[in-house]
Amino acid sequence: MIEVKNIKKNFGKHSVLKDVSVKVEDGQVVVILGPSGSGKTTLLRCINFLENADSGRLTIGNLEVDLKKSTKKEILNIRRRTAFVFQNYNLFANKTAIENVMEGLVTGRHVPKAQARERAEEALNWVGLSDKFNYYPAQLSGGQQQRVGIARAFVLDPEVILFDEPTSALDPELVGETLDIIKKVAEKGITMIVVTHEMSFAQDVADKVIFMDGGIVVEEGTPEVIFSNPKEERTKQFLSRIISLDPNYSI
Amino acid sequence: MVVKRTGNIVKFGIPWIIPAFVLLLWYLSTRPGMNNTLMPSPDKVIQKTFEMIKNGQLWEYLSVSTVRAGKGLLLGGFIGLTLAFLTGFNRILDLTLDTSIQMLRTIPVLAAISIMIIWFGIGERVKVYMVAFGVFFPIYINTYHGIKSIDKGLMEMGAVYGLSRFRIFTDIILPGALPSILVGVRLSLGTMWLLLIASEQIATDAGIGYMAMSARELLQMDKIVLAIILYAILGKLSDAWATWLERKLIRWRER
């Protein structure tokens, strides 16, 4: 279980997160929606200490830390339990696909090299890149690079995988293949928090949808409720705007 | 197939048309009977070359110059790299040093030669220092730029996946800055020869610059031309070396 309680974060005078609390059960897939600037990416980055929150508490499994006053050891412990998939993939340009997947295992988790290679091969096979082990990122398409990114997160066997707009940087025709892989991860029962703009993905995969705006959680619930019967006016507005832009979507 | 062959001939032939034409012109204009005090004929230069190879002078001058250039490059390159890594990572050092270095950079390096001679005499050191001084700037500036433009996202990824500071350095910072560092090395090679030649002409008893200078005083045109040709060859060789280094070190940037 992951729980964020009363998290607050300001950038200068601008308050990005105003007292947000989110709870994710084991195996749940939570999708966070919201307009840009709503604080959803910041929330995700605070869970991983890529941003330092101004206050709040975080619980992952049996580990509870204060987001403001956390020790280096606690940060490392939290990071060991989480994995992050970046919008821009952030692969090592000078390492091959398999080396990229192995890196976190070998240097971050001290897994022996031979064993790390075996697990990395398995993960790459699983995301459908069995013929691309020794390719450098520059030789892969955006979708393939993001699949390496997903394999890298998945291979660590984390308690939760955090996805930060994993398909936003992709060409439209590559979004589908990447979402399919993320769906496969979800089907494995791994806890996931996904920040995305892909409405149909949210509807298909999410156990819970959280709608954020202006640094607060406006509304949360199952996708059925959020998409077909939202209570809050702001949610309705946002959905009507997004859905009119997304021709694939139909209620 | 035919098209391709002509393509190759065109590709490899055309760049050599002008050099060949110049060579022909050179040969024709310096034939016996023409006035050749201003320019020696090609065969005289070739004759001189063989003569100097035989008595060992050519090799001696070449090696003396190359060693000086290499020492200067290593010294200047080392200082440039070290300083750039310091200012690239430490904000305080960056604030303290960068402006001063940028100011020094605008000095034409050759202007420093007089003061260098007064400080270091006319011995071996001044040549190495001159080269080091000139080589320092392109390496410093490009390394600094390389470090400053490292992808922040990759640094975050390193943190998230629990890489140690050492691994972040060897796996993110170094490969990230390397293309830029190599641009600096390549630029500095040009400056290196320029400064070496300038400082070798002042007062020495060996080196290609000395060869050119002494030949000028004795009006040995064949030797002067040979020195110029040697510079061209050395310049081309060091450029080829830099290209090779680039290909060797950043092979992952294919396509």
The residue written with tokens 């006016």 in the block is A233
Min Cα–Cα distance to chain A from B252, Å: 5
Q: What is the rounded (10 degree) CA torsion for B105, B110, B111, B117?
A: 120
Question: Which chain A residues have a beta carbon less than 8 Å from that of B161?
Answer: 79, 83, 103-104, 107-108, 152, 156
DSSP category for residue B32? B
What confidence score (pLDDT) does residue B138 get? 94
Q: Which residues of A touch B (CB under 8 A)?
A: 48-50, 76, 79-80, 82-84, 86, 88, 90, 92-95, 103-104, 107-109, 136, 138-139, 152, 156
- State the greatest distance between any 2 C-alpha atoms of chain A, in Å, as a whole number: 55
pLDDT tens series, chain B, 255 aa: 445 566 777 778 888 899 889 889 888 888 777 766 778 888 888 888 999 999 988 899 999 999 999 999 999 999 999 999 999 888 899 999 988 998 888 888 888 888 888 898 888 888 999 999 999 999 999 999 999 988 888 888 888 888 888 888 888 888 889 999 999 999 999 889 888 888 888 767 788 888 888 888 888 888 888 998 888 888 888 988 988 988 888 776 654
Q: Do A48 and B160 touch (CB under 8 A)?
A: yes
Topology of the domain comprising A2-244: Rossmann fold (3.40.50)
Q: Do A50 and B160 touch (CB under 8 A)?
A: yes
Cβ B116 vs Cβ B126: under 8 Å: yes
What is the ipTM score, two decimals? 0.75
Give residue-wise pLDDT tens across range A36-87. 889 999 999 999 999 999 999 999 989 999 999 889 889 988 998 999 999 9
Identity of the residue in B157, B171, B250 whose CB atom sits nearest the CB atom of A86: B157
Domain boundaries, chain A: 2-244
Identity of the residue in B162, B164, B255 whose CB atom sits nearest the CB atom of A139: B255
Residue in B with minimal Cα distance to A102: B161
Low-confidence ranges of chain A (pLDDT < 70): 244-251
> CA of B255: how far to CAs of A129, A138, B70, B243, in Å?
20, 7, 33, 16
Cβ A190 vs Cβ A159: under 8 Å: no
Question: Which chain A residues have a beta carbon less than 8 Å from that of B175?
Answer: 92-94
What confidence score (pLDDT) does residue B1 get? 45
What confidence score (pLDDT) does residue B205 get? 79
Nearest to B145 by CA among B107, B171, B182, B93: B182
Q: Do A92 and B171 touch (CB under 8 A)?
A: yes
Phi, psi of A20 (to 5 degrees): -105, 135
Mutation choice for A interface testing from B149, B150, B157, B172 by most A CBs within 10 A: B157
CB pairs under 8 A between A and B: 63
Give residue-wise pLDDT tens across range A87-106. 999 998 889 999 999 998 99
Identity of the residue in A48, A94, A152 whose CB atom sits nearest the CB atom of B175: A94
Instruction: Note the pTM of the prediction, 2 decimals.
Output: 0.74
What confidence score (pLDDT) does residue A33 get? 92
